[in-house]
Amino acid sequence: MNKKKITLKAEGLVGGYGGMNILNSIDIEITQGEIVSIIGPNGAGKTTLLKSIFGLIELKKGNIFLGEVEVTNQSPQNMVMSGLSYVPQERNIFPTLTVKENLDMGAYLRENNLKESMESIFSLYPVLNEKRNQAAGELSGGQQQMLAISRGLMSDPQFLLLDEPTAGLSPKLFDETFDSILKIKELGIGILIVEQNAKKSLKISNRGYVLVAGENRLTGTGESLLINKEVANLFLGGQ
Amino acid sequence: MTELFTYYLFPGLILGSIYALGAIGVSLLFGILRFAHFAHGDLMTFGAYVAFSMVTLFNISPYMAIPASIVGGIGISILIDKVCYRPFRQSKTIVLVISSLGVSLMLRSIIQIFWGVDYEVYFSGIQPSIDVAEDFRIKIHHIWIMLGSFSLIFLTHLFLKNTKLGKAMRAMSDDSELALITGIHTERVITATWIIGGSLAAVAGIFLGIDTQLSPSMGWDQLLPLFAAAILGGIGRPYGAIAGAMIIGVAEELSSYPGFLGENAPLLSPAYKTGVAFFIMVVMLIFKPTGLFRGRQF
């Protein structure tokens, strides 16, 4: 626990699909043990940002540093090895594999201490322990989301990138999901969340970034963004 | 009744277990690489002829030639993948399908150049058999083929269920992008898939050669039943492929059983055997394209 906290830093990111740029110039940073929300309208480049940090989309410009080490345009595999984990919004579990096999796969690049990780996940989400031998595709939507996050945790990451973890969940499950994200934060993991549910997400965040058209529009603490007029008008329903 | 067992049901199961060895490969490859591998039958032929060379060169039984044939099958599969499929990993499926059709033609031609165009057999003469019951005889070879197929299928099952690589293979078959995100070495999984598919195809070729005879088109001729079995079981579902293969094998043989109509005319002329597999495939594609075990849609 005394280890120095590492910071993930992205500077001047430019990238997208083919010739089209979706990210025009984005800077963000997150330190271990922090929750950072990325909010913005549809098409602002939130998901693209996560994907390009994780090496799924090639960056044309910009740098990503993990502590002192540059990790720009690394393969997803190397990113997992360097301590990043990405949980996509959809198709984030292996449906025909059992719950336990899904977790095994999350730990694919690890050799040791799987038991410990699995136990801490089962204490976070006891229901997964009960259903460990069931096919993941048979779980309810909420349970699948828990499994997806757990799969991301099994690689023992320093940073977890979550793409809309509450999409399609009932309001009751929102709160459960955000509760568990707070618990994950306590493990010393930095959590970068992209969320539609901006209000709830900012409430539990240390800091937030507002993206518009692939650029940083606003940055601040979760609190300050919550009471910001512009943010309220743009994304929080104008109250 | 015994006639039904001796000449139709049991041979159907033998044929089914040979199909299963090929269909597992077709199904696994489709799940991982997302294309219908049209050269799979010719991999079977290649395996059968490698064994044929061993049999003629060293005067051994074809069963003893299985290891050499598996090595040959793995080698050619990995080589073909590197040269003909790997450059098209990001391309559209149709490109890979056409490429595999080209590979199929090349393999068959190579086999014709090296081994000739004539029919060959591993051994000639009367094949020994044992009497299980009155009028119910089983060829010794059929027992070996069945035991061999079932043990290989069981080994494949153990591999898929219990090893890290096997689980990764099923994971990639479920969702290859998520597999990449999870950190799974996708190219390694692809190689492992070719190793399994290539070995099983080689052995299927030998068994087919033992059961019937060798010819350069022997494997290509099995392509339809192989795909029918894979589709019937649910494409991308190796366990489904086994069930599908057994059903297709038995259905093909039973289609010419004369007992159904109460007179001594076969239900269908044996010449239409392949048509049965085709019929089942078409019916499945129309009414239940995901197959019996909920596989992927074509």
**pLDDT on residue A111:** 81
Distance CA B11, CA B27 (A): 23
Domain boundaries, chain A: 1-83+157-239, 93-156
Strand order, beta sheet including A190-194: A69-70, A59-66, A7-15, A23-31, A215-221, A207-212, A35-39, A190-194, A159-163, A84-87
Q: Do B183 and A91 touch (CB under 8 A)?
A: no
Domain ranges of chain B: 2-116+132-287
Record: contact B174-A86, CB cut-off 8 A: no
Start-to-end CA span in chain A (Å)? 41
**CB–CB of B250/B12 below 8 Å?**
yes
What's the rounded mean pLDDT across residues A109-124?
Answer: 87
Cα–Cα distance measured from residue A40 to residue B65, given in angstroms and rounded to the nearest whole number? 65
Residues in B closer than 8 angstroms to A92, CB to CB, are 178
- The yes-or-no verdict on residue A198 having pLDDT over 80 is yes
Please report the beta strands in A55-115, taking only residues with DSSP state E, as ranges in sequence order.
59-66, 69-70, 84-87
Q: Which residues are A212's β-sheet partners? A: A215
List the beta bridge partners of residue A11. A63
Where b means 16+ CB within 10 Å and e means fewer, A71-96 reads bbbbebbebbebbbbbbbbeebbbeb
Q: Is B266 left (phi over 0), alpha (psi -120 to 50) or beta?
A: beta
**To the nearest whole angstrom, how far is the Cα of A89 from the nearest Cα of chain B?**
11
3-class DSSP state of B219: coil
Pairwise CA distance, residues B198 & B192, whole Å: 10
The three-state secondary structure class of A47 is helix
| pLDDT, tens digit (0-9, with 9 covering 90-100), for B239-250 | 889 999 999 999
How many A/B residue pairs have CB atoms within 8 Å?
59
Q: Residue A202 and residue A229: Cα distance in Å, rounded?
A: 14
B234 has a pLDDT exceeding 90: no
Say whether residue A74 is in contact with chain B using an 8 A CB cutoff.
no
Alpha helices per DSSP H over B135-237: 140-162, 164-174, 176-182, 186-211, 223-233
Confidence of residue A113 (pLDDT cuts 50, 70, 90): confident
- Please compute the mean of the pLDDT values over residues A24-42 and round it to a whole number: 92
User: Touching check for A81 and chain B: CB below 8 Å?
Assistant: yes
A1-83+157-239 CATH pick, 3.40.190.10, 3.40.50.300, 3.20.20.70, 2.60.40.1180: 3.40.50.300
Q: Ranked by mean pLDDT, which of A20-34, A160-174, A223-237, B67-81 comes out on top?
A: B67-81
Judge whether residue A1 has pLDDT over 50. no
Q: How far is CA A107 from CA A81, B61, B107, B189, in A?
A: 10, 45, 40, 16
Is A91 in CB contact (< 8 Å) with chain B? yes
Q: Do B178 and A104 touch (CB under 8 A)?
A: no
Which one of A77, A91, A94 has the shortest CB-CB distance to B183? A77
Residue B58 has pLDDT above 90, yes or no: yes
Query: CA B149 to CA B17: how far, in whole Å?
Result: 6
- Burial of A45: CB neighbours in 10 Å, binned 0-12, 13-18, 19+: buried
Phi, psi of A98, rounded to the nearest 5 degrees = -75, 170
Measured between beta carbons, which residues in chain A are less than 8 angstroms from residue B296? none
A102: closest CA of chain B, how far (Å): 8
The interface residues of chain A toward chain B in range 137-156, judged by CB-CB distance below 8 A, are: 151, 155
pLDDT score recorded for residue A236? 59
Residues 36-55, chain A: which have Cβ within 8 Å of B? 54
Which of B27, B178, B186, B237 to substitute to test the interface with A, most A CBs within 10 Å?
Answer: B178
Mutate to test the interface with A, among B161, B162, B180, B182 (most CBs of A within 10 A): B182
Comparing A110 with B205, the larger pLDDT belongs to B205
- Within 10 A of B50 (CB to CB), how many other CB atoms are there? 26
In chain A, DSSP assigns E strands to 7-15, 23-31, 35-39, 59-66, 69-70, 84-87, 159-163, 190-194, 207-212, 215-221
A53, two tokens: 């940090």
Residues of B with CB under 8 A from a CB of A: 164, 167-168, 170-171, 173-175, 177-185
Query: What is the predicted ipTM?
Result: 0.90
Q: Which residue of A has its CA nearest to B184?
A: A108
Q: Determine which of A212-216, B57-61, B64-68 has the lowest per-residue pLDDT on average.
A: A212-216
Where is average pLDDT lowest: A69-78, A133-142, A219-228, B212-221? Answer: A219-228
CB within 8 Å: B182 and A93? no
What is the domain class of B2-116+132-287 according to CATH? mainly alpha
Checking if the pLDDT of B26 tops 90, the result is: yes
A105/B168 touch (CB, cutoff 8 Å), yes or no: yes
> Which chain B residue has its CA at the smallest distance from A103's CA?
B182
